[in-house]
Amino acid sequence: MTSDHSADAASHPEVAKPLDFIRQIVEADRAAGKHAGRVHTRFPPEPNGYLHIGHAKSICLNFGIARDYNGKCNLRFDDTNPETEETEYVEAIKEDVRWLGFQWDGEVKFASDIFPTLYEYAIRLIKAGKAYVCDLTAEETGAYRGKWNEPGRNSPYRDRSVEENLDLFERMKNGEFKNGEKTLRAKIDMASPNMNLRDPAMYRIRHAAHHRTGNKWCIYPTYDWTHGQNDSVEGITHSICTLEFEQHRPLYDWCIENLGIHHPQQIEFARLNLTHTVMSKRRLLELVRGGLVDGWDDPRMPTICGLRRRGYTPESLRNFCARIGVTKANSLTDLGVLEQEVREHLNAVAPRVMAVLRPIKVVLENYPAGQVELREAVNNPEDPAAGVRQIPFGRELYIDAEDFMEHPPKGYFRLFPGNEVRLRYGYFIKCHEVVKNEAGEVTELRCTYDPESSGGQAPDGRKVKGTIHWVAANGAIDAEVRMYDVLLTRENPGDTPEGADWKADLNPHSLEVLRGCKLESSLADARPGDRFQFERTGYFCVDSKDSQPGQLVFNRTVTLKDSWAKEKKKA
RNA sequence: UGCCCGGUGGUGUAAUGGUAACACUACGGAUUUUGGUUCCGUCAUUCUUGGUUCGAAUCCAAGCCGGGUAACCA
């Protein structure tokens, strides 16, 4: 087994690091020859909402294991509840999985594909005396189920004959009964300490159109009666799900064993929690329906489509999932880990560009009026192959308001009266005069430049501490830039006090829209989805929804690390 | 209240009876035409109490703490 492991590690460098506990199980199963060494997983979303970063963890796990062990991974929609599920979500989910970089095995699967099989299986259980039709209402069923510390009571319908059950079940299917009038239940143990084994429902009556089967069925199988059999039929070997299904596992196993069919192994892991982030579909839906965000793909949403629109790359999401690991321990991952991951990827691949977000005009009094020269700028210092570009320089420029202070604190080495700084790829400049408007705001700086410092080095060898970015006024592009911050101020939204509204923690500053930002002219051709580093500021991408040629809109993906901001905070 | 599952630096994980380690964060420093990147360094960890053992993060027991669980949701 040791040699097997190293062979795998050699052919799959990404699994060379210590294996998570699920991969350990998979390797042990392979070594033992279980399922003839075959590995087949599945990702089983319910099509009733959009995928989020927590799903990405599951996707990376399931598809990743299939890839690592030359196995397969199915994409299967768990569409057993016609009342909440819609085709709209199916398409969005497929797109998100593909965008993340994964391809499912064969056709997309649906739980509804096996409705006929499930029906046959149910008849098998009825014939074996292991399932019965129950007339109890939902409320009554709850009462009969008992409490945690007291056993339930048998349903008065529990001992119907096989013939009667068969007849009733068929009539349920034929639509002879109203919603909720009858259920088909597994006959297990009303005294089980595990509530899931107290005669769980297998079928309920719902006269509702299903997004795929239309009105063909009016009885629908429950999750518990569907999932394991679906795994079995698809030949799944390892059925990976989240912790809350752990106490369903005995039921999962019971169904399969009593049917005598292929037995996949259910394995549970802890779902992802992120600081400042809500992940439940209910809450996400609340944000969307309440108009608190701009839809499922609002760049502040933790949805895959939101992160995509925000500028996250599939690589960064996959790397994130690899970094956080897989365990059974509940945890809360710092959002900073996700942000660091996207910085790391974008640092390597994003072209650098100069953009002034909050412009202040700078006039170089000793620079010839009307003169324009081109300066050479490096596109990506991390990637020499990215080459260089020419950017215009002139007498009038914009710099960022943050790069000038009239009365700077100690340690500030950007521009202030009397101080000399370097304009990146340009010249040294010195500020002599501050022009303000009536409100006392700085509107213009009168500066001089040192013609000898062309290229950013002074021949006399004098040094400047600060280098700031700039955009020539002439030819600058105007753009809108959306500065995003966390959606929730509370670090752990799970800590919202009982009875309190979690939405009270919504961050009122989660979006700041900046208009009239000045961008270097090379950005004129930027296309939706293009990602850049705005030098010294952060990573930004062209919004895929609202940006237009000539009216560009950028989203801030993440800031650059900022040790000066940290310094200021300390003071 | 019953049952199930967890508990390792601030955070996320590793160590699978044999020197508690890695990453992130934080803090310090070097380099730097991005206060970015990169590099070097520092701080800091086995929930408690017993038991088994030459030896326990690891096995056992009890306790404590956290999570899940009583849809005809998934």
A287-328, pLDDT tens digit by residue? 999 999 999 999 999 999 999 999 999 999 999 999 999 999
Mean pLDDT of chain A: 94
* Cα separation, A241 vs A46, whole angstroms: 13
Strand B contacted by A208 CB (< 7 A): no
Q: Given 3-state DSSP classes, what are the helix, strand and coil percentages for chain A, each rounded to the nearest 5? A: 35, 25, 40
> Nucleotide B8: nearest residue by CA–C1'?
A329
Q: How far is CA A270 from the centre of its chain?
A: 16
pLDDT for the residue A3: 32
Tell if A534 CB is < 7 Å from nucleic strand B. no
Asked if strand B comes closer than 7 Å to A467 Cβ, the answer is yes
- CA→C1' distance for A88 and B69 (Å): 32
From the alpha carbon of A19, which nucleotide's C1' atom is closest? B14
CA-based end-to-end distance of chain A: 57
The Å distance, CA of A250 to C1' of B53, is 36
Full DSSP string of A463-487: --S-EE-EEESTTPEEEEEEEE--S
Q: Give the nucleotide at minimum CA-to-C1' distance from A411.
A: B35
Q: Is the CB of A561 under 7 A from strand B?
A: yes
In the residue annotation, A160 being an active-site residue is answered as: no
ipTM of the shown complex: 0.96
Q: Give φ, ψ of A26 to 5 degrees.
A: -60, -45
Distance CA A414, CA A416 (A): 7
| Count of all residues that appear for chain A in the document | 571
Q: Is the CB of A345 under 7 A from strand B?
A: no
For the CA of A325 and the C1' of B44, the distance in angstroms is: 22
Q: What is the pLDDT of residue A85?
A: 77
Compute the Cα dihedral for A533, A535, A536, A542 and give only its sign. Answer: negative
How many angstroms is C1' of B58 away from CA of A281? 38
Q: Assess contact for A385 and A458: CB atoms under 8 A.
A: no
Catalytic residue among A38, A46, A145, A153: A46
β-strand A72-77 against A109-110: which pairing, if any? parallel
Element (H, E) at A63: helix A53-68
pTM comes to 0.94
**Cα atoms in the Cβ-side hemisphere of radius 13 Å centred on A50:** 23
CA gap A121, A254 in Å, rounded: 13
Is A271 annotated in the active site?
A: yes
pLDDT at A8: 33
- Report the distance separating Cα A89 and Cα A14, nearest Å: 31
Return the pLDDT at A204.
98
Residue type at A161 in one-letter notation: S
Angle at A529 between CA A547 and CA A397, to 5 degrees: 60
Q: Mind listing the domains of chain A with CATH numbers?
A: 9-110+233-342 (3.40.50.620), 114-225 (3.90.800.10), 355-469 (2.40.240.10)
A270 touches strand B (CB under 7 A): yes
CB < 7 A to strand B: residues 164-203, chain A: 179-180, 182-183, 193-196, 200-201
User: CB of residue A344 closer than 7 A to nucleic acid strand B?
Assistant: yes
Q: Is the CB of A375 under 7 A from strand B?
A: no
Q: Tell me, in Å, how far CA of A248 is from C1' of B18?
A: 39
Closest nucleotide (C1' vs CA) to A562 is B35
- pLDDT at site A5: 33
Report whether A270 contacts A334 (CB < 8 A): no
Tokens 């213009």 — which residue?
A444
Of A residues 472-531, those with CB within 7 angstroms of nucleic strand B are none
Q: Measure A201 CA to B41 C1' (Å).
A: 62
Which nucleotides on chain B have any atom < 7 A from a protein Cβ? 1-8, 10-16, 23-27, 33-38, 66-74
| pLDDT tens for each residue of A72-129 | 999 999 999 998 878 889 999 999 999 999 999 999 999 999 999 999 999 999 999 9
For strand B, is any atom closer than 7 Å to the CB of A335?
Answer: no
The CA-based angle A358-A383-A559, given to 5 degrees, is: 30
Q: Is the dihedral of CA A173, A178, A179, A182 positive or negative?
A: negative
A549 CB-near residues (< 8 Å, 6+ apart): none
**Is A46 one of the catalytic residues?**
yes
What nucleotide is nearest A220 when CA is compared to C1'? B72
C-beta within 7 A of nucleic chain B, residues 122-151 of A: 136-138, 141-142, 145, 147-149
Count other Cβ atoms within 10 Å, centred on residue A79.
28
Nucleotide lying nearest to A340, CA to C1' measure: B24
Is the CB of A535 less than 7 A from some atom of nucleic acid strand B? yes
**Which regions of A52-195 does DSSP assign to beta strands (E)?**
72-77, 109-110, 131-134, 183-186
Which of A130, A145, A173, A271 is the catalytic position? A271
- Residues in chain A predicted with pLDDT less than 70, given as ranges, are 1-17
Separation CA A446–CA A362 (nearest Å): 6
Helix (H, G, I), strand (E, B) or coil at A258: helix
In 3D, which of A351, A367, A483 has the Cα closest to residue A423? Answer: A367
What whole-number distance in Å separates Cα of residue A404 and Cα of residue A445? 9
